[in-house]
């Protein structure tokens, strides 16, 4: 089964102008598969605004049907799924070499699986492909803390995602040097929670963002009309809530910033 997509969505394809070829895995989000909750930390607002409905997935029924089939394969035939995924990554590497591009992989296109814990032959995918950069967004707070604490594969980059119900976690991540993705409607502010906002729609290459920034994303799909607070509405300031419950921990100081250089 072919699992990784390349050049099929408007977001990851933007990386190609920077010489990067992204392979992205799209599974059925949350409990859409009926077999597994692939987004255990998703809020109600996140579910209602999910990119499961954006792009081709919002037009062609077959796109989401394929994502459900992939998810069922992951649940019911994990060894074969992982072997197919390894084969796809090897194909991505070969394709990128022919195009003289840099191959990178995003495993959670529409999911939030703890991939560093998923192993085949005793290794996770980052250990299997140590020279390849992997990156993802996550709403898993403890997972993000492990990442910031240096307890993560060095070739795997994470960006925390804000929802309408995790502002205190967002504050903690930002206070401890992490990056947070925030969805806005009506443009992007210069700062959010006191941190610089960068335009995350220029490309999907989150591993190459600066440190300790807010990644501003424009509302897409159903998120354009979402009023749960998941989307920050600049017109009426909806969603501008900052609950400061700082939780400090010791970061590993020598975590390297992944770059294309």
What's the rounded Cα separation, in Å, for the pair 48 and 222? 7
**Residue 85: per-residue pLDDT:** 98
Q: What is the mean pLDDT of residues 169-185?
A: 96
- Give the helix/strand (H/E) hosting 46: helix 44-48
pLDDT at 152 > cutoff 90 = yes
Domain spans, the chain: 4-233
pLDDT at 13 > cutoff 50 = yes
**Beta-carbon neighbour count of residue 189 at 10 Å?**
15
- Minimal CA–CA distance to 220: which of 93, 110, 106, 128? 110
- Minimal CA–CA distance to 135: which of 234, 235, 12, 53? 12
pLDDT at 260 > cutoff 80 = no
Q: What is the mean pLDDT of residues 17-27?
A: 97
Cβ-based burial of 191 (10 A; exposed 0-12, middle 13-18, buried ≥19): exposed
3-state secondary structure of 163: coil
pLDDT at 257 > cutoff 70 = no
What's the rounded Cα separation, in Å, for the pair 241 and 222? 22
What's the rounded Cα separation, in Å, for the pair 65 and 45? 23
Residue 174's pLDDT band, with cuts at 50, 70 and 90, is very high
Residue 259's pLDDT band, with cuts at 50, 70 and 90, is very low
- pTM for the full predicted model: 0.86
- What percent of the chain stands above pLDDT 70? 85
Place of tokens 């607002």: 45
| The pair of three-digit structure tokens given for residue 129, joined into one six-digit string | 């492909």
Which residues contact residue 144 at a Cβ distance below 8 angstroms, ignoring those fewer than 6 apart? 138, 158, 160, 173, 178
């Amino acid at each position: 089964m072919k699992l990784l997509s390349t050049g099929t969505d408007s977001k990851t394809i933007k990386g190609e102008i920077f010489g990067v070829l992204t392979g992205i895995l799209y599974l059925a989000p949350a409990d859409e598969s009926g077999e597994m909750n692939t987004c255990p930390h998703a809020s109600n607002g996140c579910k209602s605004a999910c990119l499961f409905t954006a792009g081709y997935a919002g037009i062609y029924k077959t796109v989401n049907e394929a994502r459900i089939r992939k998810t069922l394969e992951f649940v019911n035939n994990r060894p074969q799924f992982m072997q197919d995924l390894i084969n796809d990554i090897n194909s991505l590497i070969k394709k990128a070499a022919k195009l003289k591009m840099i191959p990178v992989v995003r495993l959670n296109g529409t999911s939030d699986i703890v991939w560093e814990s998923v192993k085949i032959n005793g290794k996770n995918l980052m250990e299997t492909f140590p020279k390849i950069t992997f990156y993802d967004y996550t709403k898993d707070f403890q997972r993000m803390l492990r990442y910031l604490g240096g307890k993560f594969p060095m070739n795997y980059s994470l960006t925390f995602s804000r929802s309408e119900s995790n502002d205190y976690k967002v504050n903690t991540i930002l206070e401890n040097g992490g990056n947070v993705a925030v969805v806005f409607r009506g443009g992007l502010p210069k700062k959010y929670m006191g941190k610089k906002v960068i335009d995350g729609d220029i490309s999907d290459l989150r591993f190459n963002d600066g440190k300790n920034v807010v990644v501003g994303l424009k509302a897409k799909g159903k998120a354009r009309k979402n009023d749960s607070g998941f989307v920050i509405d600049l017109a009426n300031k909806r969603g501008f809530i900052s609950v400061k419950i700082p939780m400090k921990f010791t970061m590993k100081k020598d975590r390297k910033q992944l770059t294309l250089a």
